[in-house]
A and B are shown apart, each in its own frame.
Chain A
Amino acid sequence: MQTKEFKIRWGMVIDIDKCTGCGACMVGCQVENNIAPMTKSDPYNYVQALTKPRDDASNKLRTLTWMNVYELSNGKAFPEHETAYLPRPCMQCGSPACVPVCPVVATDKNEEGGIVSQIYPRCIGCRYCMAACPYHARYFNWWDPLWPEGMDKGLSPSTSVRPRGVVEKCSFCHSRYLQAKDKARMDGEDPMNLPEGAYTTACADICPTKAITFGDLNNPEHKVHELSKSPHAFRLLEKLGLHPQVYYMSEREWVRKQGDNYNAEAGGHH
């Protein structure tokens, strides 16, 4: 499949050697994007006796976490053991596997900085995209998003709430991009040439170690442009040829190898 090229290519460089897996990015993402805290009870279900109880956040197969943090291990026994944490948003692939499989064209990669979009009202919940995504970055809404009484007062104005039955994913906080472009227009600046920091995602914003750097990979004035070319930079499952717009960095070789699902016996990759 041919990689789609755009003038602007929003991307991230995540420094794994700085990530402590604290979870702040996950919480920040949920708050920004109105991902409901998972609740067991459903006050709107009038036939509860006939239906299964809802899952809470303990069931990781049914959680909605557009940003997820994985724990990596070098697999060695004490005392040679090492561990690392890998935050995983949507990779916003250059050749997204999720796009061609969608029967209703609910997902697409377009000029919006190369961000892979997801049109929730159009999604019919078939989950082909979830099956196609090798990064498990798409999530199905198993349960209606319900906030316990009073908590729906604190909804973010940025992202509409998605109902049960659709597939969701990280959009690099796309609403923030729209806001940044609007602001640039109002300030008489070029919305197609935003300076570093004018648009950033909630996870990058909140990260206490600034392990996540966000910017335009095509723009030499943005840090990510240079960082993505670091000798320690790599992309997840690069051998699949999906050209993710999320790069990772680590000085630890075992981390880089795991990032590409390295198979030494098969001769590695190029």
Chain B
Amino acid sequence: MSVARRTFIQLGAGATVGILFTPTVWKALDDVSIWTQNWPWIPKLKYGAVEAKPTVSKMCESGCAVKVRTVAGEPFGTMGNEDNPISGGGICPLCANGVQVKNSPNRIKAPMLDGQEITWEKAQEVVAEKLAAAGSKVAVISGDQTGTANEVFSALLADKGSDAFYMMPCDMQAADKAWTGLMGGSGQVGYDLEGADLVLLAGADALESWGPTVANLKSFAANESGKFIFAGPMQTKTASVTSLWVPVPAEGMAAFTLGIAYYVLQAGKTVDTADFGQFKAMVMSEYSPAKVEAATGVKADRMADLAKQLLTASNPVVVPAGPVAAHGAAFALNLLLGGAMKALPEFGKAIPSAMSRSEMLKADILEGVDTDLLFIYEANPAYALPEKVKAGFTVAFDVVQTETTATANLVLPSLHPYERFDDLASPYGLAAATYSLGAPVCKPSVDAISAATFILGLADLGFESFEEVLGAKAEAVGADMEALQGGEAFVAEGETPAAASLAANVLGKAAVPVKGTGAVGLAPYTLLNVGTANQATTPNAPCTISNNQLVGDHMVVMMGSATAKQLGVSVGSKVKLSGGKGDCEALVQIFEGVMPGVVAAPLGLGHTVGDEFSKGKGDNVYKILTVSSEAAAGASTWAGSTVNVAKI
């Protein structure tokens, strides 16, 4: 059969018209489109019952009360726990990514001795041997500010005749040194941010990383009639929502606070302490507004106005951060004002031989640690304090690999907060003593055990497991275990604070601003999505980090245009910041919310160990902080750090 050209064209046209009218082709195209998206490496979802189980998360410094969302028993997300006053339903960006950290390949999967995997039995044997050999030369560094695990570690130290318990540097420590150490106060200081009608955040970036951040944010939101003011060297995220930002250099915060106290004293406010007269004389002569203005650059008029506002408020509070002197000055001012500062009762101990929280805060890690055997509990001193810590043998407990676990002799995997029993006792800054409990919401992903249970196996401390310790703690607190496990918190109201002294002698000397010798002041700041001294950024957080902190793999530092002009740099300039015992590389960003003569740099970047989300990103600002001695206050501080900036 032959096909004529005309017939061929007719058939072709007919087929084309037919294709347009048949759904087969369009359906096939639709199917192809769907199937081209059905690659085997695209993960499939898991289905089953969805639940929300209460527990506590310890990834940020004060911890979050959370509910872990599970599907068929497998955790997939974290939400705030509305039943717990610490949360009010919200969570911080670190704890929001808790499940992703739990499942991270960066988890430590088994005990490692000098880089070789060993059994838990062998680990126990090694530590017992080192413990026997070390005698009393044993120390502990803890990155946990709120947990009863600290009682277990400190009880072990007591058993060995050591008191070398170190907390990673924190505001709670400076507050305790000022309040119980210098001023003879009792209890833990707290601030009623929700009940106050005027809140002066004197350096405390309370709405981004200071103290119990989520509880602070919740209080800020709930406080409809209160006014918030932030004082500090840069216009932080906290300052973006406060009514006013008062630029004050970090090293001048204590003097600035005493400058306000000058007016408050002038208005006739008094405190019933033996040294009140001495304090008043000291402030009136040494911290007159003119002198404070000369030392800090803060105008006397500004301090007078703030004092007026504090005096006319019915329930004001000043919230400090930074050095011991800044805390002491703020506490003295709060006592004069008689506002919303509280003294929280300390909960009873689970282990009688353990240290109290105040005792745990006494040792100053910035003065250095040198010991035979060192236990590091969920802290990362090799990252944040690389020059300060030396030990003959180091045992590091952590959930994920860090700079510290990379250098430790023995690395022991901790259970993730969602896999273990843990607790949150009175995070620093809350206005009420609060106790929350966490129980496992899923099975462990790796061969990990509770660090505290491991320690209990090394000495006879009266308990077999950490779970038992927590039972005793709940009893000592006076809380109902069932309610705690259901996610509720035990709350004991804070009391009106009283101090034996205003530490006039010490504050007079310690509040004098002391600045380093570098060309510009350094304003280090912490953002929870970037990370903390103990916790690197989490898998989903990098895209939340702005170009003001990180561009590509380069850290970004911010400064005002006047400072940039003075240094001869502009947006995008690559610079080297030298200070302390190291230097950092960064790109420059202009941000007019930084005081002239100051460069602001984000803490938490520059990890050399960790997952692909944090490793090699930016530079480590802890390297360029300078430790200076608050000689009069008997403490060390990073405030007043300065750097030299060179264009490269």
Instruction: Decide if B238 touches A20 in the complex (CB within 8 Å).
Output: yes
Is A133 an interface residue when CB atoms closer than 8 A count as contact? no
Is A209 an interface residue when CB atoms closer than 8 A count as contact? yes
Binds A, one of B321-329, B383-391, B541-549: B541-549
Q: B47, B79, B104: which contacts A151 (Cβ < 8 A)?
A: B104
With both chains docked as a complex, state the minimum distance between the C-beta of A124 and any C-beta of chain B, in angstroms.
7
- By CB atoms of chain B within 10 A, which of A27, A57, A71 has the most? A27
- By CB atoms of chain A within 10 A, which of B90, B96, B550, B552 has the most? B96
Is B144 an interface residue when CB atoms closer than 8 A count as contact? no
- Known A-B contacts A157-B45, A157-B48, A206-B96; A22 and B102 likewise in contact (beta carbons under 8 Å): no
Instruction: Decide if B90 touches A77 in the complex (CB within 8 Å).
Output: no
Instruction: Decide if B612 touches A39 in the complex (CB within 8 Å).
Output: yes
State the CA gap A68–B349 with chains docked (Å): 45
Instruction: Decide if B552 touches A27 in the complex (CB within 8 Å).
Output: no
Q: B93, B553, B593: which contacts A27 (Cβ < 8 A)?
A: B93
Please, how many residues of chain A have a CB less than 8 angstroms from a CB on the other chain? 73
Give every chain A residue within 8 A of B69 (Cβ-Cβ).
156
- Known A-B contacts A22-B529, A57-B543; A154 and B75 likewise in contact (beta carbons under 8 Å): yes
Interface of A (DSSP majority class): loop
Is A195 an interface residue when CB atoms closer than 8 A count as contact? no
Give every chain B residue within 8 A of A17 (Cβ-Cβ).
241
- Known A-B contacts A22-B217, A81-B592, A144-B42; A121 and B34 likewise in contact (beta carbons under 8 Å): yes
Is A69 an interface residue when CB atoms closer than 8 A count as contact? yes
Interface string of B42-70 (1 = CB under 8 A from A): 11111110100000000000000000010
Is B445 an interface residue when CB atoms closer than 8 A count as contact? yes
Is A270 an interface residue when CB atoms closer than 8 A count as contact? no
State the CA gap A201–B636 with chains docked (Å): 46
Interface string of B203-239 (1 = CB under 8 A from A): 0000110000110011011000000000000010111
State the CA gap A37–B241 with chains docked (Å): 29
Q: B96, B528, B551, B596: which contacts A58 (Cβ < 8 A)?
A: B551
Is B273 an interface residue when CB atoms closer than 8 A count as contact? no
State the CA gap A122–B88 with chains docked (Å): 40
Is A28 an interface residue when CB atoms closer than 8 A count as contact? yes
Instruction: Decide if A37 touches B613 in the complex (CB within 8 Å).
Output: yes
Q: A85, A147, A166: which contacts B37 (Cβ < 8 A)?
A: A166
With both chains docked as a complex, state the minimum distance between the C-beta of A167 and any C-beta of chain B, in angstroms.
12
Is B247 an interface residue when CB atoms closer than 8 A count as contact? yes
Q: A124, A146, A210: which contacts B41 (Cβ < 8 A)?
A: A146
Is A193 an interface residue when CB atoms closer than 8 A count as contact? no
- Known A-B contacts A22-B529, A63-B543, A151-B100; A78 and B105 likewise in contact (beta carbons under 8 Å): no
Give every chain A residue within 8 A of B90 (Cβ-Cβ).
24, 206-210
Q: B37, B75, B104: which contacts A120 (Cβ < 8 A)?
A: B37
Q: B47, B71, B218, B237: which contacts A22 (Cβ < 8 A)?
A: B237
Interface string of A36-73 (1 = CB under 8 A from B): 01111100100000000000111110011100010101
Is B334 an interface residue when CB atoms closer than 8 A count as contact? no
Give every chain B residue within 8 A of A34 (Cβ-Cβ).
45
Is A32 an interface residue when CB atoms closer than 8 A count as contact? yes
- By CB atoms of chain A within 10 A, which of B88, B100, B595 has the most? B100
Q: A28, A71, A76, A153: which contacts B103 (Cβ < 8 A)?
A: A153
With both chains docked as a complex, state the minimum distance between the C-beta of A228 and any C-beta of chain B, in angstroms.
19
- By CB atoms of chain B within 10 A, which of A17, A145, A208 has the most? A208
Is A83 an interface residue when CB atoms closer than 8 A count as contact? yes
Is A188 an interface residue when CB atoms closer than 8 A count as contact? no
Instruction: Decide if B79 touches A73 in the complex (CB within 8 Å).
Output: no
- Known A-B contacts A24-B93, A208-B90; A31 and B78 likewise in contact (beta carbons under 8 Å): yes
Instruction: Decide if B100 touches A31 in the complex (CB within 8 Å).
Output: yes
Interface string of A198-238 (1 = CB under 8 A from B): 00000001111111000000000000000000000000000
Quick one: closest B residue to A148, CB to CB?
B105
Is B486 an interface residue when CB atoms closer than 8 A count as contact? no
With both chains docked as a complex, state the minimum distance between the C-beta of B416 and any C-beta of chain A, in angstroms.
12
State the CA gap A64–B97 with chains docked (Å): 16
Q: A18, A40, A156, A209: which contacts B76 (Cβ < 8 A)?
A: A156
Quick one: closest B residue to A207, CB to CB?
B90
Give every chain B residue within 8 A of A124 (Cβ-Cβ).
33
With both chains docked as a complex, state the minimum distance between the C-beta of A126 and any C-beta of chain B, in angstroms.
12
Quick one: closest A residue to B613, CB to CB?
A37
With both chains docked as a complex, state the minimum distance between the C-beta of B93 and any C-beta of chain A, in angstroms.
4
State the CA gap A76–B217 with chains docked (Å): 27
With both chains docked as a complex, state the minimum distance between the C-beta of A268 and any C-beta of chain B, in angstroms.
25
Quick one: closest A residue to B544, CB to CB?
A23
State the CA gap A44–B42 with chains docked (Å): 10
Is B539 an interface residue when CB atoms closer than 8 A count as contact? yes
Interface string of B482-501 (1 = CB under 8 A from A): 00000000000000000000
State the CA gap A146–B247 with chains docked (Å): 45
Instruction: Decide if A23 touches B218 in the complex (CB within 8 Å).
Output: no
Instruction: Decide if B79 touches A150 in the complex (CB within 8 Å).
Output: no
Give every chain B residue within 8 A of A78 (Cβ-Cβ).
247, 560, 562, 592-596
- 8 Å CB interface, B586-641 against A: 592-596, 611-613, 617
Q: A37, A160, A209: which contacts B220 (Cβ < 8 A)?
A: A209
- 8 Å CB interface, A113-169 against B: 120-122, 124, 144-157, 160-163, 165-166
Is A92 an interface residue when CB atoms closer than 8 A count as contact? no
With both chains docked as a complex, state the minimum distance between the C-beta of B551 and any C-beta of chain A, in angstroms.
7
- Known A-B contacts A21-B240, A22-B208, A27-B541; A155 and B592 likewise in contact (beta carbons under 8 Å): no
Instruction: Decide if A20 touches B45 in the complex (CB within 8 Å).
Output: no
Quick one: closest B residue to A43, CB to CB?
B41
State the CA gap A56–B550 with chains docked (Å): 12
Is B89 an interface residue when CB atoms closer than 8 A count as contact? yes
Give every chain B residue within 8 A of A56 (Cβ-Cβ).
542, 612-613
Interface string of A1-35 (1 = CB under 8 A from B): 00000000000000001111111101110111011
State the CA gap A160–B44 with chains docked (Å): 7
Is B77 an interface residue when CB atoms closer than 8 A count as contact? yes
Instruction: Decide if B42 touches A163 in the complex (CB within 8 Å).
Output: yes
State the CA gap A84–B39 with chains docked (Å): 42
Which 3 pairs between the two chains have the least Cβ-Cβ distance? A208-B90, A23-B544, A57-B542
Chain A interface residues toward B at CB < 8 A? 17-24, 26-28, 30-32, 34-35, 37-41, 44, 56-60, 63-65, 69, 71, 73, 76-79, 81-85, 120-122, 124, 144-157, 160-163, 165-166, 205-211
25 contacts between A and B (CB under 8 A): A20-B241, A27-B93, A27-B97, A27-B538, A27-B540, A35-B540, A41-B612, A69-B544, A79-B247, A82-B235, A122-B30, A122-B33, A145-B42, A148-B104, A148-B611, A150-B445, A151-B539, A156-B69, A161-B42, A161-B43, A205-B89, A207-B90, A208-B91, A208-B221, A209-B218
Chain B interface residues toward A at CB < 8 A? 30, 33-34, 37-39, 41-48, 50, 69, 71, 74-80, 88-93, 96-97, 99-100, 102-105, 207-208, 213-214, 217-218, 220-221, 235, 237-241, 245, 247, 445, 527-529, 538-548, 550-553, 560-562, 592-596, 611-613, 617
